[in-house]
Amino acid sequence: MTDRVLVNIDGGVADVRLNRPEKLNALDTAMFKAIAEAGDQLKSEPGVRAVVLSGEGRGFCAGLDFGGFQSMKESRGPGTADGGVSDLGQTNGRVTHLGQQVAWVWTELEVPVIAAIHGPCLGGGLQIALGADIRIVAPDASLSVLEIRWGLVPDMTASLMLPGLMGLDMAKQLMWTGRTVSGDEAVRLGLATSSADDPRAAALELAAELAAKSPHAIRAGKRLLTGLAGRSTAEQLALERREIGALIGGPNQVEAVSAYFEKRPPVYSDPTTK
């Protein structure tokens, strides 16, 4: 991992911080790569039970670095030699290209991901936050699907994520207007989960609570609810049966019951990483 993204793992919680504060954590090619790499590396990190994703400095992420935007205008098309924005369009066998992967990678993690949002969370920054399972925002944070300002549509998974959170009509309105909403309004709209004066502290507290639960049950819950809209009723119910069947009688499930009746904190084992 590079200094563009700081990762500290403690007590089962991975504290992931975008670290380009002098640019409001704006996204250039190096930032895109560092975020995607951090998410990929956490997939195989033993003992991680929850992730908190936040930004250093005055905001979460101001979106695309304007210098990178200028490079995109000047060097459209694949295979340019500058190693710039054109690199974002390479899928390399994934369902995503790099620009999408910085948001999608958080859905691929088997553990809960909580985004802690303060200050500006704009354009690509908001789309990265949409990849989290839960978003905790400061009341005065500013969130916007900003791409219409540049004559673009969001292309970092927002077309998939937004309608499921806030409904199709509101997703269209935000996409077409580029309107900025506060943290409080984002909660009312369903764009964010809850608000807190110190969203990072609140996110770390919630992550610690989740890290103390059975990691097998937590992961099963994420599998059940991620991709829900793409499954039929029969497929969803079959998946539910498989997940509960795999949990019942397992060591962590037995430990959960034993600890409850013995009035002690449970001691869980972590799933084996792939």
Average pLDDT, the chain: 91
Of 24-33, 83-92, 102-111, 180-189, the least confident:
83-92
Of 42-46, 49-53, 125-129, 141-145, the least confident:
42-46
User: What ranges in the chain are assigned the alpha helix state H?
Assistant: 29-43, 66-74, 98-108, 124-130, 158-166, 168-177, 183-189, 199-211, 215-225, 233-247, 251-261
Q: d(Cα 75, Cα 68) in Å, to the nearest integer?
A: 10
Q: d(Cα 171, Cα 193) in Å, to the nearest integer?
A: 16
Helix axes 158-166, 168-177, angle to 10 degrees: 130
Question: In terms of Cα–Cα distance, which of 108, 86, 88 is closest to 100?
Answer: 88
pLDDT of 81 over the 70 cut: no
Q: Which pTM value belongs to this model?
A: 0.91
Residue 84 Cα distances to 49, 80, 92, angstroms: 34, 8, 16
Assess whether the region 5-210 and the region 214-261 belong to the same CATH fold: no
Percent of the chain with pLDDT over 90: 84
Q: Which phi and psi (to 5°) does residue 13 adopt?
A: -110, 125
- Name the pairing type of β-strands 50-55 and 5-10: unpaired
Q: d(Cα 252, Cα 209) in Å, to the nearest integer?
A: 16
Instruction: Count Cβ atoms below 10 Å from residue 243 Cβ, excluding itself.
Output: 17
Angle (CA) 51 217 115, round 5° = 20
Q: What is the pLDDT of residue 79?
A: 38
Q: d(Cα 128, Cα 2) in Å, to the nearest integer?
A: 18
Topology, domain 214-261: Lyase 2-enoyl-coa Hydratase; Chain  A, domain 2 (1.10.12)
Name the token pair of 219: 């992961």
Q: What is the pLDDT of residue 82?
A: 38
CB 63 within 8 A of CB 27: yes
DSSP three-state, residue 271: coil
Element (H, E) at 15: strand 13-18
pLDDT of 133 over the 70 cut: yes
Tell the residue number behind the tokens 């998974």, with chain if given.
157
Q: Where are the domains of the chain?
A: 5-210, 214-261
Q: What is the mean pLDDT of residues 135-156?
A: 94
What CATH code would you report for 5-210?
3.90.226.10
pLDDT of 80 over the 50 cut: no
pLDDT in tens, 43-79: 999 899 999 999 999 999 999 997 765 655 555 444 3
